[in-house]
Amino acid sequence: MARGTVHGNYFNTGDPYSEWCRENNVYMIDVDACGICKNCKDPLYLAETCLDRGQTWKATTTTEALARLAGLPSFLVFYKVDKNRIVESLRVTQLTPTRSQETLVLPEGWFQILEFLQDQHNINCSKKVTQ
């Protein structure tokens, strides 16, 4: 759940577990995204995501540490939506294994990156579907 207000997030719905943790000083984060293989369900990447309001920063320390421990790439993804909540653009920074500059991409471009991660995994996937 996003920091700031404990009782609401982007869409004004609380997360009771996050609220309970904060009220009891239990330290945790929610990992916003863990991309998985569509066949074997192994993790492909970790990401911190955030509705783009022009901000330039979001905490990624723990997500980066988890990605390094797991040997996965990780990303910071700020996304803009239209009035119908359809993603229209993304600002993406690769965090691990090496940090990149922030790049503005359209949804199709981000999809191509995610497909590439799946394709790279398919080389050694234990449940790869052959065509």
Tell me the whole-structure pTM to 2 decimals.
0.84
Unique residue bearing structure tokens 């293989």: 37
pLDDT in tens for each of the 131 residues of the chain? Answer: 444 444 445 555 668 888 898 899 998 888 899 999 999 999 999 999 999 999 999 999 999 999 999 999 999 999 999 999 999 999 999 999 999 999 999 999 999 999 999 999 999 999 977 65
Q: How far apart are CA 6 and CA 23, in angstroms?
A: 9
Q: How far apart are CA 106 and CA 94, in angstroms?
A: 16
